[in-house]
Amino acid sequence: SGLLPLLFLMLSVAMQAQSFLINFPAFSSSPTKNPQDITVCNGTSKLQVQMSAGASSASGAEVTIQLAAGMEYVAGSATVVSSNAGLTITENGGTANAPKFKIANASGAIANSNNIVFTIDRRATCTARTQVINGTVFKDTVTGTIPGSTASTELSGSYDVKYAVLSYTQPSTQNNAIVGQSYTRTFSITNGGNGSISAVYLALNNTGLTTNTLTLTGGTGSTGTPIVLTPTSTVGTTSYYTIPASQLSGGNLDNGENLTFSENFKVLSCTGSTAYSVGWGCSAAPSDWCETKTGIGSVSMANGSASLTRFTVAKIGYVNDCTPYKFTFTYVTAGSNTTKASAIYDA
């Protein structure tokens, strides 16, 4: 009957109306997986796209790449791998999570059967880590539109997003502390996640203490050379430190690697302690850390109490009230023991 040819005609028209045939070819060299896996806040990875035009336009084509939640396009990274018609790809607005591009030849046009293969670089933010924890499957969506034709959309294969998981071993309590004395304590950081990090951040908030020196003394994740750390900034009683890639073995703190620290501090009052914050993220600002672990460095004071038992005053060289002379003040204490904990200190 006439119905069957009509159906074939409609199908043919619909196929011709599609803007692109889109696919995601494997990379030619290792790692060949496309899209490539990525690590949160540590480097970039590539997405490779092949687009074959199914229509023509004097004004070229528009492409939008909707990246998975927490993923961002690296500006300026769109690169043509190959094209059978001299097509180029240029940025054309959008957002970091959904960048837009224009594909066209030197005349600004595109023709049926024109082909282009291009790559973009992507980075993973802290939001991507949250999405992994929530069970998100990461895929990117590419949509291509040629004016006058139906938009074409394809979903990429899935890719893995890796991230670090820090653990923090806080220092032991400093017992028998004396006001005015300095002591040394140690603590460590370990990465137990499947992702590496290129920087580790620390914050030390002291109460009744002052940090004399903080030293990265070693650990499997360090370069092995003790390094005295200098605060990147100090706000109030909190000092911030960064352990950069140059101080990490191989430039990263990888799975199973650890860092050990030695802190020399001085006790300023009887209620001294340090609040530690350890983290990693896309920048050193604590608000940008993807993960924060905390702990306390406690101080227990030595036992003892002072007791002022006698106070005397004597005049030295006294002749009369009009002649200069001196006073001698004598304080006698009978503390609960002979340690410095029983001493009297100048307030």
pLDDT on residue 34? 98
pLDDT on residue 325? 75
pLDDT on residue 13? 46
Tens place of pLDDT per residue across the chain (347 aa) = 455 444 444 444 445 579 999 999 999 999 999 999 999 999 999 999 999 999 999 999 999 999 999 999 999 999 999 999 999 999 999 999 999 999 999 999 999 999 999 999 999 999 999 999 999 999 999 999 999 999 999 999 999 999 999 999 999 999 999 999 999 999 999 999 999 999 999 999 999 999 999 999 999 999 989 999 999 999 999 999 999 999 999 999 999 999 999 999 999 999 999 999 999 999 999 999 999 999 999 999 987 556 666 678 777 877 777 888 787 877 777 655 555 555 665 54
pLDDT on residue 306? 62
pLDDT on residue 133? 97
pLDDT on residue 312? 83
Given a contact cutoff of 8 angstroms between Cβ atoms, the answer to whether 201 and 280 are in contact is: yes
